[in-house]
Structure 1
């Protein structure tokens, strides 16, 4: 049986529907980035561009990266419609194989979960993300901490924890300062309108030098 690549999986994922996500930015990114001075930003796993467009509308110049050409094309179309197409550069990357070049005032890694990721792949990507943060810049990592409460028989998957993510990053404490490390419990309704909640982990880390 042929193993599905990340590119194949995510292209199929986005082709299944004309629009997968709401187009709104991730609320935890908004919470953590709203007070930052706009500069250059890298949006990893940008999907259809909701976060990148929100950042661009606030004055950021954004590099948006995703493995899916379908998602990137939709993001570019939405950015043009929002009037910020000239502020975002869209790049196709399988982040485990290639990574955007340069350094950035903000690097955003929102929900980098993949059912086809190899062991240690997320950790590798996050270390590259940290390397891409410019002195004085910020790394924001948000991830799921568990399944929604309405799932009665969820798959057995180990979600990343804040201590585990910090250990994987292995940051020099003399060069980095953790500004946010929090598990957030929030409403997460089901696809059929079920009431539910879900926990997410939030890390905001500033590079001091």
Structure 2
């Protein structure tokens, strides 16, 4: 099934920053640095970073991403944002970053490309840098959908080996999605390199 991302972003209009993102920012004790927002979508987190002084590379495959992400930003904050309309897993080597944020985006990476993307994310993090994002588990109602990847807890913990895991919350419950009621199985992660 193909998702209509533009319609999804319209339905998300007015949302605040996601809790995993807030947890990562609270854990960051340095000056604002460089961040990657992979699958930046509606740009809420990118704008929050830019407004706090971070430089951000915001990446999303949706064609309308550039206008949507910088909408409403003051000129000085907008100047700190580089927006690319591309599938994040096709970027190749990622630039070094103090923060890599991928809110509900990584599960939509092709399964065969995911190990390479995850290796690129790990390589992009500077020492002390933070990863924040979500992965979907095998109990998720979307499990088995083509072009999506899923991981059990053991697999997620293995992916985080060698990192200081600040938050690993497993959410396995009924809830709502943009398509209606759904069973979610999500790992919310904040980890330090």
TM-score by length of 1: 0.70
Alignment RMSD: 3.3
Q: Judging changes above 3 Å, is the alpha-carbon distance between structure 1 residues 41 and 192 closer, same or farther for their aligned structure 2 residues?
A: closer
Q: Judging changes above 3 Å, is the alpha-carbon distance between structure 1 residues 60 and 199 closer, same or farther for their aligned structure 2 residues?
A: same
Alignment-derived partner of residue 96 in structure 2? 103
Larger Rg: 1
Q: Quote the Cα distance in structure 1 between the aligned partners of 2:180 and 2:186.
A: 20
Alignment-derived partner of residue 27 in structure 2? 35
The CA deviation string for residues 115-152 of structure 1, in whole angstroms up to 9 with x for no partner, is xx4333233212211111111211123134444xxxxx
Give matches, 1:26-105, under 5 Å. Answer: 26-36=18-28, 37=30, 38-80=32-74, 84-99=77-92, 101-105=94-98
Give matches, 1:158-197, under 5 Å. Answer: 159-167=150-158, 169=159, 171=161, 173=162, 176-184=163-171, 188-189=175-176
The size of the alignment, in residue pairs, is 184
TM-score by length of 2: 0.75
| Structure 1: gaps spanning 5 or more residues | 148-153
